[in-house]
Structure 1
Amino acid sequence: MIKLVVTDLDGTFLNSKGSFDMELFNEVHEGMKRKGITFVACTGKQCERVEKLFGQHGRGVWILGDSAARIKKDGQVVREFSMEPALALQAIQEIQLFDSQMTIIVCASDAAYVHSSISDEMYDVVKGSYEQVIKTDSFAGISTSFIKITVFDTQGRCTALRKHVEHTMEGQIYIVDSEPRWLDITALHTHKGETVKTLQEMLGVTSRETMSFGDGENDVELMAVANYSFAVSNACENTKRAAQFITKSNDENGVLRTIQAIMDLQE
């Protein structure tokens, strides 16, 4: 019996326009609540951005946001997995050594921070995933906890950047290039798989009672924590290999249609 459904957002639950079928979601989510199934959004997006995305329809939804470094539900922070400030600043320095013009987003417990020199175009890109954004002249001046570091590179060099940072920091941080233009750095062992395990323990749910959905490189661990793991058909090859099943694409409501079908089977 499925008790927990965990889905990535971008490229998985959200369509190529960055939105979703609200009417279908409401129908499916109401059915889930009647059956005692918990819905979880697990994403690189800032928790507050996810809250705005779901709006009034997100009540009862668990959010594992900021690359699963924060857990929120109904507006309340349940848990955060912060980075050591010295390691965070070292990682930022390594990124700047690779290319000082890359867009760096430092997610802290109060907001996402970008350098004050950011262009208007890149600022708009950041706002697509982060609701609360503050410009700063120095990341070293951030006074709240460092949650994660994200890089956006228009040239698509994040695999090379990952290798560069790993050269000096491997074994001290968790780093993943979810796609060529995006890279995330969090505390060691802080990723979607481990945070879902934490939530499973909190809710008393096993992997046998869990269903997961993903598409990117950062969803591979998500496939391992659910007996019923699905890669959408537009997923990368590594995620498809890690998943137990392949479902329809994000533009075909693959996640919601699959949840609906599984609930019908459980009848």
Structure 2
Amino acid sequence: MLKLIVTDLDGTFLNNQHTFDKDYFVKVHERMKQRGITFVACTGKQCERVEALFDGVGEDIWILGDSATRIKKAGQVIKDFTIEHSVAMQAIEKIEGFATDLSVIVCTRQAAYVHSSINKDSYKMVRGSYEKVIKVDDFNKIEGEVLKITVYDGKGRSSQLRKHVETSLLNQIYIVDSEANWLDITTFGVHKGETVKTIQSMLGVTKEETASFGDGENDVELMDIASYSFAVNNACENTKKAAQYVMKQTNDENGVLQTIEALLNVGS
């Protein structure tokens, strides 16, 4: 019996306008709740940004935000995972040494921090995923523990950047180039798959009772924690290979909600 549904947001649940069909979600989510199924949004977005996205339609959902470094429900942080401060600063130093035209986002429990030199377009893009953003002249001045570091590279060098950073920080961080333009760094051993396992343990849910949805390189681990794993049609090849099923629909076609509805119909 299905008890847990976990989905990535960008490129998976959200359409290319970074929104979703709220009326359809309310209809499907109500059926999920009637069946005792928990819905989880698992994303690189800041938890507070996800809360804003689901405002009025999903206050009782679970959120694995900030690249699954925070677990939040009903406005309360249940658990979070931080990077050792010295390791975080070393990673930032390596990133800044790689190129000067990167947009670096350093996330703490309080806010997402960007450098004051960030250009207007990049800042607008950051605001799409982060509700609270603060500009600083020096990342070393950031107070509070670091949850994750995200880098946007308009030149698509994330694979090279990953190799540059991980060489000196092996076994101290988890690093993934989710797309050619995006790279995420969290503490060692913390990624979407492991954080979902934490929720499974908290809720007493097994892999056999879990369904997951994803599209990017950072969703490969999501395919392994669920017996019913789905890659949207627009997913990267590695996620498609890792998934149990590849959907016919893309993220622009309500693919996740259609598939959840089909699962509910099978089980009714």
TM class, shorter-chain normalised? over 0.9
Q: Which residue of 2 aligns with 1:210?
A: 210
Distance, in Å, in 2 between the alignment partners of 1:26 and 1:193 is 26
- Mapping of residues 104-123 of structure 1, within 5 Å: 104-123=104-123
SS in 2 for 1:205: coil
Q: Does 1:154 align with 2:118?
A: no
Q: Does 1:240 align with 2:258?
A: no
**Structure 2, gaps ≥5 residues long:** none
Distance, in Å, in 1 between the alignment partners of 2:145 and 2:78 is 15
Distance, in Å, in 2 between the alignment partners of 1:37 and 1:59 is 15
SS in 1 for 2:55: helix
SS in 1 for 2:134: strand
Distance, in Å, in 2 between the alignment partners of 1:238 and 1:217 is 7
- Mapping of residues 145-184 of structure 1, within 5 Å: 145-184=145-184
Return the TM-score normalized by structure 2: 0.99
Return the TM-score normalized by structure 1: 0.99
Distance, in Å, in 1 between the alignment partners of 2:102 and 2:17 is 25
Distance, in Å, in 2 between the alignment partners of 1:34 and 1:62 is 16
SS in 2 for 1:211: strand
Quote the offset at 1:100 in angstroms. 2.2
Q: Which residue of 2 aligns with 1:18?
A: 18
Q: Does 1:28 align with 2:28?
A: yes
Q: What RMSD over aligned residues (CA atoms) do the two structures have, in Å?
A: 0.6
Q: Which residue of 2 aligns with 1:126?
A: 126
Quote the offset at 1:230 in angstroms. 0.3
Single out whichever of 165-174 and 79-88 deviates more from structure 2: 165-174
User: Which digits, 9 at most, give the CA deviation of each residue in 1:138-158, with x for residues without a partner?
Assistant: 111111110000000111110
Q: Which residue of 2 aligns with 1:259?
A: 260
**Structure 1, gaps ≥5 residues long:** none
Distance, in Å, in 2 between the alignment partners of 1:252 and 1:4 is 22
Identity within the alignment, %:
62
User: Which digits, 9 at most, give the CA deviation of each residue in 1:86-120, with x for residues without a partner?
Assistant: 00000000001100221000000100000111111
Q: Which residue of 1 aligns with 2:73?
A: 73
Q: Which residue of 2 aligns with 1:87?
A: 87
Superposed structure 1 runs of 4+ greater than 3 Å apart: none
Q: Does 1:144 align with 2:144?
A: yes
How many residues get paired? 267
Q: Which residue of 1 aligns with 2:201?
A: 201
